[in-house]
Amino acid sequence: MRIVLGVGGGIAAYKVASLLRLFTEAGHNVTVIPTEASTRFVGSATWEALSGNPVSNSVFDDVHQVNHVRLGHEADLVVVAPATADLLAKAATGQAGDLLTNTLLMAHGPVLFAPAMHTEMWQHAATRANVETLRGRGAAVLEPATGRLTGADSGPGRLPEPEAIFAAAMALVEGRQDFQLPLAGRTITISAGGTREPLDPVRFLGNRSSGKQGVALAVAARNAGANVRLLAAHMEVPPPAGVEVVQVETALQLREAALAAAADSDVVIMSAAVADFRPAEVSDTKIKKRDDRTDPVITLVRNPDILLELVELRNSTVQVEGHQLIVGFAAETGDSDGDVLAHAEAKLQRKGCDLLVVNHVGTDKVFGQDTTSVVILARSGSEPQEASGTKTEVSAAIISRIAFELNAVSPRA
């Protein structure tokens, strides 16, 4: 596929280098057209080297090739990232002062704008009107992500992560109407991995969680346009790019991080394996073998139930800006008191979360594996939903379900 990648003059231009890589690695032929202003952020040499194609932003370069007409005509897809307030205004009013705006006027195929700007600019009536005009003409304008902006401020206006723009672009080319990222503008907190409860400076009580499921969820949520905060307990896999990582070790640290993160989260997913108990005392020094040959006794105390506390916090807070969705995980084996689903239903009621993702576990199942099979139970009482496959596939199914629930309860403004 021939892609024209227009780069606007915003600090987020540096992220577009990764987007270009995603396009070229997928085998597409990309011509980058940076605006003059954008070259103050990322130079043309970067675009030439990464795309393998010459780069220009002037209608007067290579005039014999009539680039200002040809590039737009030949492109199967035009992506503009970051689409600044200025570029959106120029595109909406049909200006043609440089090669990129000329190309936009000549484009025959789908055009995708990935905006990035300060929140006030994005929410300004002028920008809103320009976005409406462009959408009205059939251009696809993504919702920006929410989160930390260039300065100390935060809010909607961040460039969606490159993987999310890539996913939206491919959906658009396939002619899908749902190219809009389902979690754009949403903040999702995901806990992952297993907590470690120290006994002394060298020993801990841990569990078999690898963190793969939580990381796969973070990737799926990021690719759906969400601003993702990963609360990472001990994990055997590295955290993905494009997500904010908060490292924790113990259940108490995870509790503190989760309650703080919940304050501005649309969704909290507790996929971490949290130790239910911790040693009552943590020795400052290494516990040594004793001369009298008696064995040490470790007394355990209950850890707080974080999921339960998150639900209580949510329920006690007046929800000014819509509903917070809380998702729990349950690892069940089934026993003489009931099968896996019976235990899971009871847990869903006990914990009060909105969705419960149920894994059937044994020492050979789920932990550390790449494939899994889950059932998603909803408190609303809707039919249990099954999903199986790789952890990536299952995560995509869980994230779509979350997006569905979220958009049904509190549609995006």
- Say which of 207, 223, 227, 303 is annotated catalytic: 207
Q: Which stretch binds ligand CTP (CB under 6 A): 140-148, 214-222, 259-267, 300-308?
A: 300-308
Which of 82, 328, 374, 377 forms a contact with ligand CTP (CB under 6 A)?
A: 328
Report the residue number, 100 or 251, with the smaller CB distance to ligand CTP: 251
Residues numbered 254-283 forming contacts with ligand CTP, rule: CB under 6 A: 270, 272, 274, 276
Which of 50, 306, 340, 397 forms a contact with ligand CTP (CB under 6 A)?
A: 306
Report the residue number, 90 or 234, with the smaller CB distance to ligand CTP: 234
∠ CA 138-139-144, nearest 5°, is 135
Torsion angles phi and psi, residue 368, rounded to 5: 75, -5
Check residue 303 for interaction with ligand CTP (CB under 6 A): yes
In the complex, minimum distance from the CB of residue 146 to ligand CTP, in angstroms, rounded to a whole number: 24
Is residue 171 within 8 A of residue 211, CB to CB? The reply is: no
In the complex, minimum distance from the CB of residue 268 to ligand CTP, in angstroms, rounded to a whole number: 10
The single-letter code of the amino acid at 289 is K
To which H or E segment does residue 103 belong?
helix 99-106
Check residue 249 for interaction with ligand CTP (CB under 6 A): no
Cα separation, 292 vs 43, in Å, equals: 72
Report the residue number, 158 or 255, with the smaller CB distance to ligand CTP: 255
Check residue 376 for interaction with ligand CTP (CB under 6 A): no
Report the residue number, 20 or 331, with the smaller CB distance to ligand CTP: 331
Distances (CA, A) of 408 to 10, 36, 182, 325, 401: 34, 42, 11, 11, 11
Helices 85-92 and 125-136 sit at what angle, rounded to 10 degrees? 50
In the complex, minimum distance from the CB of residue 86 to ligand CTP, in angstroms, rounded to a whole number: 45
Report the residue number, 116 or 307, with the smaller CB distance to ligand CTP: 307
In the complex, minimum distance from the CB of residue 306 to ligand CTP, in angstroms, rounded to a whole number: 3
Active site residue 207: yes
Check residue 251 for interaction with ligand CTP (CB under 6 A): yes
Check residue 305 for interaction with ligand CTP (CB under 6 A): yes
Cα separation, 137 vs 288, in Å, equals: 74
Helices 306-316 and 251-262 sit at what angle, rounded to 10 degrees? 20
Which of 216, 331, 355, 358 forms a contact with ligand CTP (CB under 6 A)?
A: 331
Which of 19, 112, 268, 307 forms a contact with ligand CTP (CB under 6 A)?
A: 307
Is residue 145 within 8 A of residue 225, CB to CB? The reply is: yes
Q: Which stretch binds ligand CTP (CB under 6 A): 5-13, 36-44, 280-288, 302-310?
A: 302-310
Report the residue number, 68 or 347, with the smaller CB distance to ligand CTP: 347
What is the side-by-side strand order in the sheet with 187-192? 244-247, 227-232, 187-192, 267-270, 325-332, 355-360, 371-378, 385-390
Cα separation, 328 vs 378, in Å, equals: 10
Is residue 379 within 8 A of residue 353, CB to CB? The reply is: yes
Cβ-Cβ contacts under 8 Å for 20 (sequence gap 6 or more): 5, 30, 32, 47, 50, 51
Sites of contact with ligand CTP (CB under 6 A): 251, 270, 272, 274, 276, 303, 305-307, 328-331
Q: Annotated catalytic sites, by residue?
A: 207
